[in-house]
Each structure stands twice: as structure tokens, then as C-alpha cells.
Structure 1
């Protein structure tokens, strides 16, 4: 228990899909198709990291969305409404996720370093299994194939910010101590998931939901815009309790080495 045994990686915004674009755009489209009801991309990002049914329900409870919903429909969003939006969301997301399956630059190099140190690669996502079943083989063809994949709807206890998906990775990978695990995520619920599971938690700021831009959009920003967006993303992840935050998975190796040195000294998350 004096070194990292496993890393549990989020998917969109962490390993694939720079900016976590695929899920947010589909939430907007699903609300529009199901109820002719507009939500903004900024609103769609607020609950990011949660399981998608819970994400839709959380969107309905946002003050801005709830106010407009009640004005349009005369009552708050019901679970039946959430069900319909979710059923609309699923095929749209399955189609969209393939377009954003390519690994983020530098991610595979970092993962290769982890594997060279005999670190097992787990993963979990806010995506349900039906979406992961589409995404996983495409990502594998593009070079990313983790040792374990857990989807948000696979466990009866629920998903983020609870610890269950991260702990299911521990179970499937045969890891003896959660203190020897690192959870890596770009969302606040994902960081909370790792903390609730008793793991080291590392936030991904620039390539993830906190900035929420594609790589080309990010490159088009000026230095001041990048600085402000980066600071806001770092602040949100640290406020959620992240032990460390980096710009991208490509930058995580020094953090992993630091955690290993802390474990060797007997420290725990």
C-alpha cells in the first residue's frame, strides 16, 4: 500500500472529448425535441458529471430552467417529463458520442506511463451503459482501452456524487485499498465521487467541463480569456475538494509521482 495501484478515469473531458462537448449539446437538443423547450449550453453544463437521468432532473430544478418551465407548462418538471427527455436523449447521445471518441492530446502517453508502473486503469462515466457500449469499442479502435468500465446506470445504489462507480472499479480490478487509488475527473460530482470513495482525487481543468470549449475554441481565445477560464475551473475543482488539479491528463505524471511519495511516507487521502 505504498504506491498507486489503480487510477479511475472519467471519460468525456478527461480522456476523450476535449471540452466535454458531446453530452452538453445533446441535452439542449433533447429538451428541444421532447418539449420544444430551450435550455442554454451553460445551463446544460451545471450538473455535469451526474448520471444522465439525474442530470436531466437536476436541470429541471435549476431556478432559471424551473421558472421558464412553469411559465410554459404551468407546473414543475415531473419524473415522467424527465423520463421522456431521457428517452429522447439516449439515441441522440449514442450517435453523437462517436464523433467525440478520439483521445485528448497527451492522454494516451500519460496512460502508457501509468501502465509502465503496473497501475491498473479503471474508468467510469456519467453516461449510461447503452451509450458506453457504443463509445468503448470506438475509443478502443482509437487507442484507449481501460481495464474496467463502469456506467452510471449499472449499480442499484446510484451514481455520482456517491462512491459506488469508483468502488465498483476497485471491486472488479481486485484492488486491496482505496487509499492506493486515484480518481481523475473534470467535474465537481466526479471529484466528490472520488472523495466519497476514500481516494486521492485529481481534477482536470482546461480540457474538461469547467472551461467547456473544444480545442479549436480554446486555441482561439486570447491569453487573458484563457487565464480567467483556467482560474475559474481550478477554483471550482479545488472547492469541491480535489487534492490536486492539472490542465489536462497529459500533465498528471508529476502529480502521480507526488502521490506515490506521499503513500510511501504512510500518508492517506
Structure 2
């Protein structure tokens, strides 16, 4: 293959169907400082580095107003750090309950490796969270060739810096020979900024927000409506392709390979 690497996100892409681990932790972290937020609000900035995620929530008009009412002052950067310090250990605590590999991941990775591709990864999770998650994933059979975390570099998503580190770690170039796979808009933006092909995942991650069991219980029309909304959201973010889950990736890789052979670039 002309392709050289797949670069995967973690939650909602490779593990944790529905990207559910951070949601309760965000809600609980804000509750501990006297501010109520909903799961839908918590999901809004998903894909960003976790400090940026907390900041986006805290400075949003609705939540900032609640903060003011609860604390008697507008939120500050010190408050961002305060909430993050509560959130991170909460996320570490629950991560073992949200570490299941997304169905089809290992088959796709085996196919890619069989074609000579390397497997990289970037994540909005911090290093302490990933230190808990990586061994769990490895025990289940998934160990990518690198892991770049939010906070490892001067800037995370939507900047391309984590992607640049991954290119260097894996020894792969040009960016057009790589595919970024993600379930969030910031993750798609990360790939676009780095110059890679991008593939959005509509049903396994944040855009749908349901566990596999919940998704499987939906009526056909409900599932179709959810897929349409999630696909549109990721397409508007700029994804070159949008599929349901990582299990559907192989035909997309073959389509990208054909484009590369024809001289096309992202």
C-alpha cells in the first residue's frame, strides 16, 4: 500500500463504545464545586484536551452563569485548574469500566499491519488517564505503536502538534500517506490541520453517545436518524469519509489507496 499509517483516537474510536467514561466524571466534578451540568453539555467540547474541555464548559455562558450564582464570582483560570484536578482522578477511577475494545478494531489493526501500516494514536486524555487505560487495552490485544496525550505538547487538538509527534515517533511521511480516524470534530480538525486523510465515526463515539447495547435496542428508523445526524456533523467538520464504526474501515482504506495511486491528495 501507498498508505503508511493509521492514527486512531482512543475513546469512542478504539475503546469505550459511545465515549461514555468522561461524561459522568465531568458531571460529578462540576457537582463537587456546586454547579450542575448535563451530559449533553459535558459532551459539547469532546475531543479537546481535557483542560481545554473544562475551560470550554466553564466559560460557556450558561455554565458560567451557574458558576457565578454558586460561587459569587465569574470563573477564572484557577477555577479551570480546580475542576480539572477533581475531574482527572474521577476519570481514572471509572476508566476500567469503559476500556472494552470496540468490535472490529483488532481485525482492522491486523489487516493494516498485514499491509505494512503502522498504528499510531492521539488522545484528548491526559497521561495519567492513559497510564490506566493502556495496560487494559494491551491485555485485550490492542497496543498501538505510539500514544500521544493531551498535555504532552504545547498544544493539543485542534492543532496538528500531536499528529506531528506521531509522524516522528512512527517515522512516517508525507501526511497524505496517513489516515486519522476519530469520532469528534476536534479530532477531525487535528487530522485536517496535519494534512492527512480523515475518517469520522458516526455511531461508536461522541456524535451518537450511546453504548452498543443502547444502540442495538434502537428501532431501525431511530438508528437511521441518529446515523444521519452524526454523519452530517462529522462531514461538516471536514471528514473525507464517515462510517459507522472502526469495523467498517477496510473499504475506506482501499478507496483512499486508489485515490493515492491516482495522484490525489487530501
Structure 1 position 39, deviation (Å): 0.5
1:163 and 2:152 aligned: no
Q: Which runs of 5+ in 1 are unaligned?
A: none
- Tell me the residue number matched to 2:178: 181
Structure 1 position 77, deviation (Å): 1.6
Structure 1 position 184, deviation (Å): 0.4
Deviation track 1:171-219 (CA, whole Å, cap 9, x = no partner) reads: 1000121110100000000000000000001001100100001111112
Structure 1 position 11, deviation (Å): 0.3
Name the SS for the 2:148 alignment partner.
coil
Q: How far apart, in 2, do the equivalents of 1:72 and 1:100 lie?
A: 31
Q: How far apart, in 1, do the equivalents of 2:28 and 2:221 lie?
A: 32
Q: How far apart, in 1, do the equivalents of 2:236 and 2:57 lie?
A: 21
- Tell me the residue number matched to 1:130: 128
- Higher mean alpha-carbon deviation, 55-64 vs 158-167, is at 55-64
Q: How far apart, in 1, do the equivalents of 2:4 and 2:15 lie?
A: 23
Q: How far apart, in 1, do the equivalents of 2:122 and 2:106 lie?
A: 17
Q: How far apart, in 2, do the equivalents of 1:91 and 1:107 lie?
A: 27
- Tell me the residue number matched to 1:28: 27
1:190 and 2:203 aligned: no
Q: How far apart, in 2, do the equivalents of 1:103 and 1:129 lie?
A: 19
1:232 and 2:243 aligned: no
- Tell me the residue number matched to 2:112: 114
Residues 84-95 of structure 1 mapped to structure 2, 5 A cutoff: 84-95=82-93
Residues 48-63 of structure 1 mapped to structure 2, 5 A cutoff: 48-63=46-61
The two structures have a TM-score, normalised by structure 2, of: 0.97
Structure 1 position 107, deviation (Å): 1.2
Q: Which runs of 5+ in 2 are unaligned?
A: none
Structure 1 position 36, deviation (Å): 2.1
- Higher mean alpha-carbon deviation, 56-65 vs 144-153, is at 56-65
Structure 1 position 136, deviation (Å): 0.6
- Higher mean alpha-carbon deviation, 71-80 vs 253-262, is at 71-80
- Tell me the residue number matched to 1:200: 197
Q: How far apart, in 1, do the equivalents of 2:55 and 2:204 lie?
A: 26
- Tell me the residue number matched to 1:245: 242
The two structures have a TM-score, normalised by structure 1, of: 0.96
Structure 1 position 75, deviation (Å): 3.1
Aligned length: 266
Name the SS for the 1:209 alignment partner.
coil
* Ranges of 4+ aligned residues in structure 1 off by more than 3 Å: none
Structure 1 position 66, deviation (Å): 2.1
Deviation track 1:218-243 (CA, whole Å, cap 9, x = no partner) reads: 12222222111111110110000000
Name the SS for the 1:19 alignment partner.
coil
Name the SS for the 2:84 alignment partner.
helix
